[in-house]
Amino acid sequence: MTGVTELGYVVYEVSSIADWEHFGVELLGMQLGERTRDGLTLRTDEKAHRWILTEGPADDLVASGYEVADAEALDALVRKVRAAGIEVTEGDAALATARRVDRIFLTTDPLGNRLELVTGLADAATPFASAKLLGSFVTGAGGAGHQVLLAHGVSREEYLAFYMDLLGFRISDIIVEELSPGIVADLIFLHCNGRHHTVAFGDMPSPKAVHHFMVEVTDIRDVGAAYDRCMDAGQPFEMTLGMHPNDHMFSFYVFTPSGFSIEYGWGGLIIDDATWEVRTLDKLHSWGHRSPGAVAELLAAAPDPLGENHR
């Protein structure tokens, strides 16, 4: 296989390293990897890192590190991308060392996002340990998680030609839902391994490159515990607990200190390409995933059966 096999890591430029360390470690249950000259790394498994945070004003995605099976597959993929007229440059030894990979090549997708094509993402020197989780994060063959990127007017045909024809992604499904008269959400979900989707694309009104990143846990109790930790800490939510109809993820969405969201979930669907059929669905959510404001209004309007003194 010459295409990418997983999303190995993500790189973000963030305006407050301290806020992100608290958010990632204390609220989400990640492990601090190491402190770097300009930031820090976060771990969710045995790998040296899955998240790389550098300090700066962007508060957005800087790069996505996609892993390839081996050196031979990486060379073949680089040749394929270059043959399509897209620039690919090899990263130097210093960048490979910083990313903890054997080899690294840099390119840009049609949306303007930097991609790092890599082999050999290193394991950490110590086992993964979370002070918060009852279980663990779901990574392994599915990679670090999934991300939803914003198309910003780039045509679907253009970015699919890049991600599918060159990188080897396959379509999982499509969701088209009319949220209100004239307002339509239209998202397409792509996979490169068994995880239902590693990347998805939509054209939502946001200046950022990324809408959200999803981390998944093995124990459903950890979703509830993280939900409570975020609520107790006053971390703003984008959506309350709910479930998606396509990947069956039970999750909530909480805003990061940088303003994009984390989906924190359990129970994601695993795809078998031999039997999978692509569908177009008409709903983003099976149930829940309501805005906190809407939930607050419903709760405030509900009668109190125990009377005013109970409030």
User: For 96-130, what is each residue's pLDDT tens digit?
Assistant: 999 999 999 999 999 999 999 999 999 999 999 99
pTM for this structure?
0.95
What is the end-to-end Cα distance of the chain in Å, rounded? 61
Whole-number pLDDT of residue 310: 57
In 3D space, the residue among 116, 109, 17, 120 whose CA is nearest the CA of residue 59 turns out to be 17
- pLDDT surpassing 70 at residue 302: yes
User: For 193-221, what is each residue's pLDDT tens digit?
Assistant: 999 999 999 988 889 999 999 999 999 99
Backbone angles phi, psi at 53, to 5 degrees: -115, 125
Whole-number pLDDT of residue 67: 98
Return mean pLDDT, the chain. 96
Pair 118, 71: CB distance under 8 Å = no
> CA 115, CA 65: separation in Å to the nearest integer?
6
User: For 127-139, what is each residue's pLDDT tens digit?
Assistant: 999 999 999 999 9
Q: Give kind and range of the element (H or E) at residue 255.
A: strand 250-255
Identify residue 245 by its one-letter amino acid code.
P
The residue with tokens 């198309």 is 151
- pLDDT surpassing 80 at residue 2: no
